[in-house]
């Protein structure tokens, strides 16, 4: 373990030294301190510099210019002021673990500023895709107790440099910006097994119980109309699913309206629930961890 720690320390030192020469936005000793907004999105506050443009920020952080403009309510990029606070949405999949880094990467350590009453479970499972054991190891924690304003290492951000920008652009990496969705609107629902004509082909299928775990989201600004609905890609529309909140130990049944609209939400959100579902689950946070029990169609053969 000690040999591994020494090796990684030297490796990280080499990678951060490169940052000073490759990008003017960060120096060798810089780090990123992020927070979470009401929607559960990791946010980095960047002070706009004289040499910056939205295009340069887009290439460095891997966020499309259109998303930066929408996220910061910018209508005229040329009117951005010096030292203006630019919010950069940070995707979970851009936070690398030490074991996944190479000497060719230019990385910046990313720290999360702990809020009152937050737990390692929430930070690990909801805000990042890391495990509790990883956070404990990286931060040399003796227990799971966190303090207000504690800086918690949650991963390493690999900066987009001239060496890897083309690779990222070729993969068409995008980071959708969260938008509101109202459950009382008319929603196009795909046909279900109940609404289809019972043919020999349909008879070849039956329902099977499946389980899914991951982050859920609900819109805290949306009016609660008492409807218990969920947007969930893996379940059959118009079926009922069972949603469990391990944080409150509450369970609720909700109807599947359909899947999550493409490019409308963060790509690491597992499902969207209505305000009434969140209320019955006893959840006050917009983003929270859920376990879902649902039905899928499988071939009898």
The mean pLDDT of 50-64, rounded to a whole number, is: 86
Task: Say yes or no to pLDDT of 196 above 50.
Answer: no
Looking at residue 45, its pLDDT comes to: 93
Q: Check residue 24 and give its pLDDT.
A: 54
| Residues of the chain above pLDDT 90, percent | 20
pLDDT bin (cut points 50, 70, 90) of residue 16 is: very low
Q: What is the pLDDT of residue 270?
A: 86
Specify the pLDDT at position 243: 94
Structure confidence at residue 205 (pLDDT): 57
Lowest mean pLDDT among 128-132, 193-197, 276-280: 193-197
Average pLDDT for residues 13-24, to the nearest whole number? 44
Percent of the chain with pLDDT over 70: 71
pLDDT at 37: 81
Round to the nearest angstrom and report the end-to-end CA distance of the chain: 50
Residues 6+ apart with CB under 8 A from 123: 112, 114, 135, 146, 152, 154
Tens-place pLDDT, residues 84-143? 999 998 887 788 888 877 777 778 899 999 998 888 988 888 888 888 999 999 999 998
The closest alpha carbon to 239, from 250, 223, 255, belongs to 255
User: With 80 as the cut, is the pLDDT of residue 197 above it?
Assistant: no
- Of residues 192 and 27, more confidently modeled: 27
* Domains of the chain, start order: 2-170 (no CATH), 202-299 (2.40.40.10)
Residue 192 pLDDT > 60: no
Question: How many other C-beta atoms are found inside a 10 Å radius of the C-beta of residue 72?
Answer: 18
Confidence band, pLDDT 50/70/90 cuts, at residue 163:
low
Of 196, 173, 180, whose CA–CA distance to 64 is shortest? 173
- State pLDDT tens for residues 206-258: 667 889 988 898 888 788 888 899 999 888 888 889 999 988 899 999 998 88
Q: Which has more confidence, 186 or 50?
A: 50
- pLDDT at residue number 206: 63
Mean pLDDT, all residues of the chain: 76
pLDDT at 251: 93
pLDDT of residue 236: 80
Instruction: Find the helix or strand (DSSP H, E) in which 59 lies.
Output: helix 54-61
Query: Encoding tokens for residue 136?
Result: 């404990």
Q: Where are the beta strands (DSSP E) in 78-182?
A: 85-90, 95-96, 107-113, 151-158
pLDDT of residue 252: 93
SS3 label, residue 37: coil
| Separation CA 292–CA 286 (nearest Å) | 17
């Amino acid at each position: 373990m000690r040999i591994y720690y020494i090796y990684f320390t030297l490796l990280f030192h080499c990678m951060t030294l490169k940052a000073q020469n490759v990008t003017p936005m960060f120096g060798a000793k810089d780090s990123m301190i992020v927070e979470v907004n009401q929607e559960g999105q990791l946010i980095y506050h960047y002070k706009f510099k004289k040499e910056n443009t939205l295009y340069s920020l887009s290439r460095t952080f891997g966020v499309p210019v259109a998303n930066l403009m929408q996220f910061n309510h910018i209508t005229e990029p040329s009117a951005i002021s010096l030292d203006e606070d630019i919010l950069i949405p940070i995707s979970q999949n851009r936070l690398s673990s030490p074991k996944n880094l190479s000497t060719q990467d230019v990385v910046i350590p990313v720290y999360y500023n702990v809020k009152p009453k937050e737990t390692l479970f929430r930070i690990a499972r909801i805000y990042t895709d890391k495990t509790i054991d990883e956070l404990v190891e990286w931060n040399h924690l003796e227990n799971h107790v966190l303090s207000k304003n504690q800086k918690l290492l949650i991963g390493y951000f690999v900066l987009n440099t001239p060496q890897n920008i083309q690779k990222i652009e070729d993969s068409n990496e995008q980071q959708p910006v969260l938008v509101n969705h109202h459950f009382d609107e008319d929603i196009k629902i795909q046909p279900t097994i109940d609404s289809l004509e019972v043919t020999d082909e349909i008879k070849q299928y039956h329902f099977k119980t499946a389980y899914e775990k991951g982050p859920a989201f609900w819109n805290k600004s949306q009016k609660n109309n008492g409807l218990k609905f969920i947007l969930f890609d893996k379940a059959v529309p118009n079926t009922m699913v069972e949603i469990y909140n391990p944080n409150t130990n509450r369970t609720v049944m909700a109807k599947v309206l359909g899947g999550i609209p493409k490019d409308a939400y963060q790509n690491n959100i597992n499902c969207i629930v209505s305000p009434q579902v969140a209320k019955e689950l006893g959840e006050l946070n917009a983003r929270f961890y859920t376990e879902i029990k649902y039905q899928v169609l499988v071939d009898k053969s």
